[in-house]
Amino acid sequence: MKYIEKEKNMCKISVITPVYKVEKYLEKCINSILNQTFSDFELFIVDDGSPDSCGKIADEYAKKDNRVRVIHKENGGAPSARNIGIKEASGDFFYFPDSDDWLEENYLQEMYDLAVKTNAQLVVTGYTMEYYENNSRQSYKVFESEKNYFNQQLVRNNIHNYFDNMMMAVPWNKLYRADYVREHALEFPNLKWDDLHFNMEVIMDIERVAISSSAGYHFFRSRAGSETTTVFDGMLFEKRKEQFEHILKVYQHWGTTDKDVLSVIYGYYASRLVQCVQEIAISGRDDIKERIYEVVNDSLSVKAFSMGQINSKLLRIASIPMKNRNVKGCLVVGKFIGFVKENMASLFYKLKSVSVNKALKV
């Protein structure tokens, strides 16, 4: 590991971004951070062994701006890159943007002000989803009204409302209190889609969470080569199940028995299973029907479809054959969704926007 050493200065926010194969997008991301109205931060750019020019781009920024610190390391994945940044950081808060996204200029200021006002250990914001596919651009905002959950019971009674809209799943829309992360020895696990697992550990014993109505983070969803463009890798169902079992672990730790809360949690998982079936249906595998049968007949899937409340009307309709464990029906629905996504991108993302916003009750 190579670290460009600079004198450490205490700051309010340590911004930590892992970098790998994003040379076309990196400058836009870095510029959006350095041009923030909030200036009391350090920026760690962790070059995760990127084979393109990302490392050189990062080094040039470090020469021009004293807030930029560059770490070059062997490729180990985003979790290891973030964890190295955590160890080197000196800020009161941690912030973890992805290096192919960008921030509106007042984003850090809004998060920091809310953290100070509420004494929150975690600030969660909305975001703006940016899709670029088949020469079509779709953009929509996901956000909730500002809330202050100022004690542990309030957090535990309400955090389930932020799963369906992806606000709990990712790290890039959150400001984490650094002393809380360190006191609980929290790290990003070395797993695919480590984000949700990390956030589950963060909220396990947390006492104060603030929700910001900001949607100033722009999530670039559809660049070529990103993990989000080609989700299916033959293990999607197993990974979704693993994530949900972690969520259940947290709610069991809390002793949650409220049926309305559990209905939302299981509904969240049921809606993720719709995506699993859709990806399997268009995967071209030889064992598509067998895989779909495995998904819909899994005991946790059966429980999710029986007791879960899916907020989105579109997803509720799509889930009907899955709830009934009708493999042929699942295959038809999955292929139809895949066809719309592939050939009518604008319509697909418009429908997805409606689906998310209905879940948000916006």
| Rounded Cα–Cα distance for residues 176 and 353 (Å) | 28
3-state secondary structure 273-318: HHHHHHHHHCCCCCCHHHHHHHHHHCHHHHHHHHHCCCCCHHHHHH
Q: To the nearest whole number, what is the mean pLDDT of the chain? A: 91
167 found inside a domain: yes
Can you say how many angstroms the Cα of residue 185 is from the centroid of all Cα atoms in its chain? 21
Band (102; pLDDT cuts 50, 70, 90): very high
The verdict on 322 and 188 lying in the same domain is no
Q: Are residues 258 and 205 in the same domain?
A: no
166/271 same-domain check = no
pLDDT of residue 345: 65
Give helix 54-64 / helix 26-34 axis angle, nearest 10°: 20
Angle between helices 236-254 and 259-281 (to 10 degrees): 170
> Which pLDDT value is given to residue 2?
63
| pLDDT, position 138 | 79
pLDDT of residue 312: 86
Residue 231 covered by a domain = no
Note the pLDDT of residue 163. Answer: 95
Q: What is the pLDDT of residue 285?
A: 86
Model confidence at 222: pLDDT above 90: no
Q: What is the longest distance spanned by two Cα atoms in the chain?
A: 63
| Window from 22-36, 162-176, 186-200, 227-241 with minimum mean pLDDT | 227-241
Do 20 and 157 share a domain, yes or no? yes
Asked if residue 37 and residue 63 are part of one domain, the reply reads yes
| Last residue in a domain, options 186, 220, 254 | 220
> What is the predicted pLDDT for the residue at 206?
98
User: pTM for the whole thing?
Assistant: 0.92
Q: Please state the domain count of the chain.
A: 2
Evaluate whether 244 touches 272 at the Cβ level (below 8 Å): yes
pLDDT in the model for residue 224: 45
155: its two tokens:
């957090």
- Report yes or no: 305 and 322 within 8 Å, Cβ to Cβ: yes
pLDDT of residue 3: 56
Q: What is the CATH number of the domain that holds 202?
A: 3.90.550.10
Half-sphere exposure of 20 (CA within 13 A, CB side): 16
pLDDT at 226: 45
Asked if 254 and 210 sit in the same domain, the reply is no
Whether residues 275 and 200 share a domain: the answer is: no
Give yes or no: residues 10 and 147 share one domain.
yes
Three-class secondary structure of residue 135 per DSSP: coil
Q: Which of 167, 195, 220 is the last residue of a domain?
A: 220
Is residue 229 domain-resident? no
21 versus 222: the higher-pLDDT residue is 21
Same structural domain, 144 and 78: yes
Quick one: 178 and 273 in the same domain?
no
In this structure, are 215 and 286 located in the same domain? Answer: no
Could you tell me the pLDDT band of residue 228, with boundaries at 50, 70 and 90?
A: very low
Residue 133 has pLDDT above 80, yes or no: no
Distance from C-alpha of 53 to C-alpha of 55, rounded to nearest angstrom: 6
Domain range spanning residue 18?
A: 2-220
Is residue 331 in some structural domain? yes
Q: What is the pLDDT of residue 223?
A: 43
Closest CA to 107 of 169, 35, 168: 35
Whether 198 maps to a domain, the answer reads yes
